[in-house]
Amino acid sequence: MPDLTISNSLCTRCGVCVDICPMRILELPGKELLPRFTGTGADRCIVCGHCEAVCPTGALRMDDPRLDPASYPPQKTLLDAEELDAYLRMRRSIRRFRPDPVPREAIVALLDVVRYAPSGSNRQGVKWLVIHETTQVRQLTALAVDWFRSQQDGDTLLSRNFNIAGMIRSWQKGNDPICRNAPHLVIPYTDRQHPTAAVDAIIAAAHLEIAAPAHGIGTCLSGFFQMAAESWEPLQQALDLPEGHRPGYTILLGFPATNFLRPPRRNRLDITWR
Ligand SMILES: Cc1cc2nc3c(=O)[nH]c(=O)nc-3n(C[C@H](O)[C@H](O)[C@H](O)COP(=O)(O)O)c2cc1C
């Protein structure tokens, strides 16, 4: 259960914490009194930390056993839009990786900031499977190829959209059309006990893709691996996720071996205004 500690000398009773609370479970009972949880409010708190984050005097501290004890000083909030737009335009899916491994600490630093991705009810239920051993990546990829082999015959959404036979031929020639010879795989996964769990994991994957270039790391989503992971029991057994958990999306990860010099052109913007 979350706990609020408020400094009597620092709190100005401005009520900003009460106003920001998305659950409406804080109250300011009187001019002289400190903000507090409403009756059963603490039970409904989603520990979003917004009350602590907006307090102008730093008077309020929210504690909960789930929270990482690390905290941060006030951060520079807004990036220059022009700079951020250029960064986002230059993010690319990386399909050629250097063979040298990305140190575990660098992957931890990246995943650490991805904790700041939004999640339904601030559940933060995303966990990470990192296949750091490249030999294991290759073994898992071979299992994914087995699934594609099993899908060769028949008219399916997969066979209509992808050249499965060509992909298998490419694998047999020593290429890796599924994991692109990436040294690592990163898979956010969630239990499916919450309506937003699947989306939470995909949003975490998107945040990882966006943050990675700033950390000097290349990524590419692997829909091919993901499709196999969702359907092929031998691959699911090898991934060995905890009971009831499902992979959100599969991300190839490594140091990039390509250097993009300019953004590609995009389709025209398509907006419906109402
Ligand atoms: C859901 C999804 C699945 C994807 N699966 C693959 C994949 O299996 N193999 C691959 O090489 N790229 C894959 N990609 C990367 C897209 O092809 C890529 O995002 C797109 O071509 C645009 O390129 P960019 O990311 O460099 O802007 C996937 C992207 C998404 C969003």
Are 90 and 181 part of one and the same domain? yes
At 88, is the pLDDT very low, low, confident or very high (cuts 50, 70, 90)?
Answer: very high
Mean pLDDT, residues 221-226 taken together: 97
Radius of gyration of the chain (CA): 23
Distance between Cα 152 and ligand 1 center (Å)? 22
158 and 210 inside one domain:
yes
From the CA of 223, how far away is ligand 1's center (Å)?
7
Give the atom of ligand 1 at the shortest distance from the alpha carbon of 260.
26
pLDDT, tens digit, 9 for 90 and up, residues 6-52: 999 999 999 999 999 999 999 999 888 999 999 999 999 999 999 99
Residue 217 forms part of a structural domain? yes
Cα distance between the two ends of the chain: 43
- 40: domain CATH number is 3.30.70.20
Q: Is the pLDDT of residue 76 over 90?
A: no
- Give the range of the structural domain holding residue 49, as residue numbers without chain letter: 3-63
Q: In terms of domains, do 11 and 146 share one?
A: no
Protein residue with its CA nearest to atom 30 in ligand 1 = 221
pLDDT at 193: 87
Same domain for 107 and 203? yes
Contact 222, 250 (CB under 8 A): yes
pLDDT on residue 69: 87
Distance CA 225, CA 181 (A): 13
Do residues 118 and 55 share a domain? Answer: no
Q: Tens digits of per-residue pLDDT, 117-154? A: 999 999 999 999 999 999 999 999 999 999 999 988 88
Tally of structural domains, the chain: 2
How do strand 251-254 and strand 218-221 relate by DSSP bridges?
antiparallel
- The pLDDT score that the predictor gives to residue 157 is 83
Categorize the per-residue pLDDT at 78 as very low, low, confident or very high, splitting at 50, 70 and 90. Answer: confident
- CA–centroid distance, 59 to ligand 1, in Å, is 46
Would you say residue 124 lies in a domain? yes
Closest by alpha carbon to 23, among 46, 54, 40? Answer: 46
Q: Which is nearest to 86 in space by CA: 216, 260, 253, 221? A: 260
94 plus 38 within the same structural domain: no
CA atoms within a 13 Å half-sphere pointing along the CA-CB vector of 152? 10
**Averaged confidence pLDDT in the chain:** 95
Same domain, 41 and 157: no
